[in-house]
Every structure is written in C-alpha cells, then in structure tokens.
Structure 1
C-alpha cells in the first residue's frame, strides 16, 4: 500500500484557540486533502483536520493551541494511510449496523401493499400506507375537498349533511331561514348603531340612538309602558287620567271644563240657581261666564253672575241674577234659558 509523501505547497494561517484555518496557494481539494489528515506546524504540533471547506480553507478537530498559531507559516500536511482510512470507514459501518435497524429490517416478513416503518429506536414493523396522513373516516374532508372556494365565503351543511359554501356580502347579517339554512339579510346603518348599544342591561330600560353609530339605554317607566299600546291621542288622554261626561271634560293635569244651556225659573228676587254637571274641587277654584240663551226672547235681560250671598258661590253650582234693563226691575218668577261656561280645578 503506497504511502503518500507529505504535502508542502503553500502557506497556512492559524488563529490561537480557533478551529478555522486558511491557506495560500495550497489547492487543498485538488490534491484530495481529507478529514483525518494532519497539519504539522513548525512548532511540532500535529493538528488533525476535521473538514475541508474550500481550496484554501478548512476546520480542525480541536482549536489551535496558541503555541502553534501564526500567519504565513510553511504548510505541511501528512496524509493518513489508506489502510487507516478504510479501518475508520469499516468502524463507522459497524457502528451503524449495531443500531439494530438492519437486523429488525431483515426479520420483517413482507406483505403486498405494506411498507416498513420505524416503531421505535432500532425496531421496525409493517404498515398500511392507507393509514398514513390525516384520516377521514366520516368523509368530511372529502366533502371539503370537493368544494371550489372563493373569496369571503363561509361553510354550512344542509339537512342531508352535504357541505356547501355561502358567499358573504356587504352590509348583511347572518340568520337562519325556515329550513334552518344560513341566509343573508339587509342591515341598515341604524341597526348597526343599535348593535353598538352601551349601558348595563336591566329591567325597564329602553334603547335609543345616541348618534349615527351608537345607542344607549334610558328608563322606561311603568306609566310610559301603559301608553305604548294606545292607538290615538284620545286613548292616551284616557290612560293619562283624562275623564269626561255630559257637558264636562277633565284634562290629565286636572283642569276641568264645563258648559251648558239650562232652562231655569227665577225666584222672587230674579235669581236663578244653576248646578254643575260635576263639582269643582273648591268653592273658589273656578271661573264661570253666563249669558241670555233665549235668543230673541227677553232681549232686554241682563245677567249678573256670582251672586255672593250665602251660600253662593260653591263648588257644585252658581247663582245668576236677572233683571230687565229697560225698567230695572228683577225678572221674578220667570222661565229663562241661560247659557254658561266654567273652567277650573
């Protein structure tokens, strides 16, 4: 077996405590310098090469000792004998075979359509390729693979379990139809604003818009709820406490209006008593106006309301004095129609 002479072409640069080295004019790859060959430095150190990374570069197995470092040092490489290389290769092969992989592989009994697969360090078994990858026992992945998807779509299944895509659209919201399928419906800016509802949900709260993109909650009183189902203003007035009867009406704030055209007979002093359809709250809580309602008859009659002689006026009615403006005499024991209006509380 031939022994190659030392290679002494070029120079070498070695850096203390570094495993990297460079050469000048050495052409390391061309002359087949390999891992295991040794660099002999002028200091007498033997540095084993780990890798050759280029024509003029490589790495050492161990960092360069400071005593061997230098720049432009004469290069001397001693080649490893071929026998030593072969021994190393055989040793590596034996190490690889000792893992048990080859023995376990040889012990397998092949079967149609089966492939060997490692089940652990140095152990193998046969496996069916159909079990590889993601399993789809229910066919769901197959349904998905059959779809051609496009931009902005969502998936749903129908009543039969078939998978289908639904395209989304601008300014729509998702809901279910009569078949429980997802469908799109329009949504307005006002509806979106209501979705941006602030406040804490509680009983007797009413949502309302606070602006173009927001909404809030306000109290809904029990009284307010009673008028929400009223069909018109008259119904709302009734709910709010307005009541009425023949010739009278009371507003929700308690203001009472009464009116009438009453045929009365005066007493010996020309006074006539008129009774309200419903009483006011107090003797002095109203105002009244009266006039001769006989049209053409008794055209010379003068009325004087609010006779103050006891017990008048009072909440249930009032007294009118009647006399002839031509003679100045009281219209005693006369039948007169008197029109009147009163308001108060």
Structure 2
C-alpha cells in the first residue's frame, strides 16, 4: 500500500495581523507538524516563508503578512518535501564553504604535531603545537609553576606565596647589570621588614639604601641628620644670660646611646686678655648641660657675660 504524506497542514485556526509576522494558532500543533522553510498563507494564494516555530501555537513569518488581518480563521501551511529540505541545506553548506576555505585547507601538507589555522579570508597555514603538548602532559599541583627546560619540554617548579605576590606586582623590577662599565652581577633590592630598603650584590650585603624617608633631617639652627646606618648627628647653639649651667634638649633623642659631643664658645664678649671656655655635663640620650666660664690672665674664673654664646654638636645612634 502506498502511503501519501500530507502536503499541507491546516488543523485548527490561525490569527495574524495585516503587515504582521507573528501567527497565533488555536488548537494547532505547529511544533509537531511545521518546520522553518514551510509556507504559511497558501489558503489566500500568498505563501510567506516561515522563519521560526516557537511553540505548538506560535510561529514567526520571514516577511510581513500581505493580506488582510484574520482572527481564528482557517489557514493552510504548505509543507516542504524532505528532498527540498536536503537540497536547501546542501546549498547553504556549500555557500558557507565557498570563499577559498576548502581550497586553503586542501592546499596544506600535514605534518607531525602541526595544526591548521586561518591567517585571513580563504588562507590557512600550519602552526607547531609541540609546546602545547608538553604543557598538556604536565600534572598540575598546588604551589607549582610550569617552565621550559628546552624546545618542546616543560617541567614544574615550586612557587610560594611570595613568588606569586612578586609576579602579580605592578612595578618594574631591578634588572641584572651588564650595561656600560658594569659587570653581570645580580643586584637585589628589598625591604628589611622594619624601616629601610637594603641592597645586595650577589652574596654581598651592602646594607641600607639612603632615602629621604630613612635619612630624615632638620636644617634648623638646632637640627639633626639621620644616616642609613642608624648614626645620628645633632647640633645647636645656646646663649642664655645666666650664671647657672644651661640645659640643652636635643632636637630628637638618640634611640640607643649618645656617643660623644663637643662644645665651642662663639660670639666672644668685649673682655680682653681672657679665655672663654665651655664644657658639658650630665650627658643623656635626650640632652646635656653646658657650663660656660671666663678664665682671666691670672687664672681666675668668672661666669660669662650675656654675649658669650656656645655652639654644640652631639652624635650617637
């Protein structure tokens, strides 16, 4: 017995607006019976290709409906034959393959560990993926990083938190030397974790690097200078009009120890045939006391007049 397949689908009714592309079915089974490429509207002699089928009661036309609006009215959809669908699919595939892509692929000569790739429209070449294969053959593990050991060969190396932080930092690292007048020693610069930058050449520690933040200073009359080694030099003047020892408070206290000091008379008074002298006592990290005397020609001692000033200097760390 010969089975004749239906050439149209017309179960139920359909609604479509004039100039619309949405078709709504009533009591229809579009999903089970209709495919994109079939034609809606043959009942009016105006077949419009179906672009998509959304559900059993909804489909979308490829072009606006040219007829009058219809509401829950009879309709017919002309079904494409399977042969027509195959022919159209084949045509579309051939169109996609045109443009030289097949010719470009056919023109390649395959080789071991090579993969083809497009270099432009209709042009292809081969790339070596030996390195990719080497990478794929590695077994990843925590805190491990891949590196090349040779052509097409990779291995894993340890990389801890500090290394990951270094690789992710946004800065320009110090390069190995080797410029004009330089050797090829490796130079290291790093933070000591407390207060200063340090430098090292190969295994030789150069100590702290002088920076404005680390070598602080005050250039005032009573000032100081810090050095990267921790050494501190301080200076100042006193000119108090008093017969007592004059206490001096350093601009900053020495963190560890006062190691030495000197005091020098300046701004001598109007007396003649005398010697102005100064000394310090009660040394401490925060200051000392200065004693001023005038020694006459006969050896007598007296306290200074108001114009007898003293400059002092102290050092320590």
Q: TM-score, normalised by structure 2?
A: 0.49
Higher-Rg member (1/2): 1
Q: TM-score, normalised by structure 1?
A: 0.46
Flag the structure with higher strand content.
2
